[in-house]
Amino acid sequence: MGRTNRKRRSTLANRAIAASAALALGGGGLLAANIYASAGEGKNSTQNAQTTAAGVATIKCPDVGQQLTDVPKGARAGVDKELAKLDQQVTEAYKRLADTRQAQAGDSSYVNNAILSPLKSKRTATIDRIGNNIQRSGGKAPQQQDQLAECEGVPADQPAAGEGQGGDGQDQGQDNGQDQGQDQGDGQDQGQDQGDGQDQGNGGQDGNGPVAADFQDITQVQPTGGAKGVGPNGLPANGDSGSTGTFTTNCGTNENENRNSDNVIVAPGVSNGAQHQHDYVGNQDNDAFASDQDLAAADTSCQNQGDKSSYFWPVLRVQDGQDDIDANAPGGGQDGNVGTILQPAEAQLKFVGNQKGDVVAMPTALRIITGDAKSFVNGLANANTNWSCTGFEDRQLTDKYPICPEGSSVVRTTNFQSCWDGQNIDSANHRTHVSFVQADGTCGNGFQAIPQLQVRLVYDVAAPQIQGDQVTNPFAVDSFPDQLHKPITDHNDFINFFDENTMNQVVDCINSGQDCQ
């Protein structure tokens, strides 16, 4: 599968830093308008209401998909397509937000009346259809549908990343890493309170991020112990007891540029369901329309031909002013994802064991998503990010991109959930069938320990230049337009298609303490 055929993207763009906001969407980018909200204004003043409306940076809506924990299998295909429509509706509203800054500045009710109210009407109809699909298959429609339809504008100086949604229990153990990243990186809030509204300070090449405050000098970060080999709660992923072996599969670095902006896990059958570009290694037939049979019969980039699993993550780009092949395509330039796509210099895929006992084989077609592509507005409940630099991997950032010294490369490390419910290869919200280990290293709720996938990606990319609130040639992960290319939105996906013999080899190596590949 080649680089262009599956790059479907739609763009939008606009990132407001501080209380500045970008103005018009035209050509390939955004013009900036300086619209300031005075820090000294009273919260209830008319003037503050007007400037706050003008300074709305993005749109925050309840993540309906994460609320759907009990969807009959017969309804899931239809429900997933409706959920993708909800994402597209938010994107369209965000584009309108970016396009109407002057109108917002002159009318404090504009955002609510012209953007949020119509969005709610569309979401209400879509959520009704979701409920009808579920009920027709014998399930129960989601509760409090009116609340699920309600969205809000997030002012530029009030990002939403610190607010959790409860999630599925994956936030257990996240607090340690997330708090460290917030403390070291000074949080995402502070970065919003500066800026003069100029193009770069206003958020990258296409106006919707990243901003200078999204970056941190790795040499100024205190050592945290590192993410390599460490679970989400800071404990070793495979300790001195339990299953101590490893299995490494070499699937390349996507040399053949196998990319698309689909997501067959969360939006099967929907073109551009991710609204951002993914790198794929391993399975070569992974797009929105691939069935399990297609995936099982596909070619693989893995050296071990018994591994046809699909490994995919959002691409990393440098916003260098250059047009990549998807500059005018959905999921690329049309969705505010611009600049040169970077191929990883290294892509290490390693499976490790459990601290307390043996692991069992993963079932064929098991799907695991880790991290949250919408965590900037969803909150940290499902966030799972680790950013660092080679030579400094004992220092990890969660809500900042690292600025690496000369000779050092950017590192993205992801440790997946390693407990499985023993029955399902997927779940309605694509999360509750798997979980992270508990604080003592065991699996709770009767779940079984499975090999834990650890992905380590290394990129040779020049450090962006930061001067005040200005950033030159920033790099960032692709994101949904309304997520503003925040580092906290990084995520990773896996679909297991090891053949039975190879999966048994993986389990045997891990349980017997061997290091295999």
pLDDT score at 165: 34
pLDDT score at 163: 40
CA angle 400, 405, 407 (to 5 degrees): 125
pLDDT score at 50: 38
User: Distance between CA 397 and CA 204 in Å, rounded?
Assistant: 20
Judge contact between 176 and 380, C-beta under 8 A. Answer: no
Among residues 137, 10, 144, the alpha carbon closest in space to that of 64 is found at: 144
Among residues 310, 315, 314, 346, the alpha carbon closest in space to that of 228 is found at: 346
pLDDT score at 156: 62
pTM for the model stands at: 0.82
Angstrom distances, CA of residue 4 to CA of 13, 254, 487: 22, 14, 26
pLDDT score at 24: 24
pLDDT score at 143: 85
User: Distance between CA 8 and CA 28 in Å, rounded?
Assistant: 16
pLDDT (tens digit, 0 to 9) for every residue of the chain, 517 residues total? 443 333 333 333 333 322 223 322 222 222 222 222 222 233 333 333 333 444 788 999 999 999 998 899 999 999 999 999 999 999 999 999 988 988 998 898 999 999 999 999 999 999 999 999 999 999 998 888 899 999 999 876 544 444 433 333 333 333 333 333 333 333 333 333 333 333 333 467 777 889 999 999 999 999 987 654 454 434 445 556 789 999 999 999 999 999 999 999 999 999 999 999 999 999 999 999 999 999 999 999 999 999 999 999 999 999 999 999 999 999 999 999 999 999 999 999 999 999 999 999 999 999 999 999 999 999 999 999 999 999 999 999 999 999 999 999 999 999 999 999 999 999 999 999 999 999 999 999 999 999 999 999 999 999 999 998 889 999 999 999 999 999 999 999 999 999 999 999 999 999 999 999 9
User: Distance between CA 278 and CA 154 in Å, rounded?
Assistant: 27
User: Distance between CA 466 and CA 487 in Å, rounded?
Assistant: 17
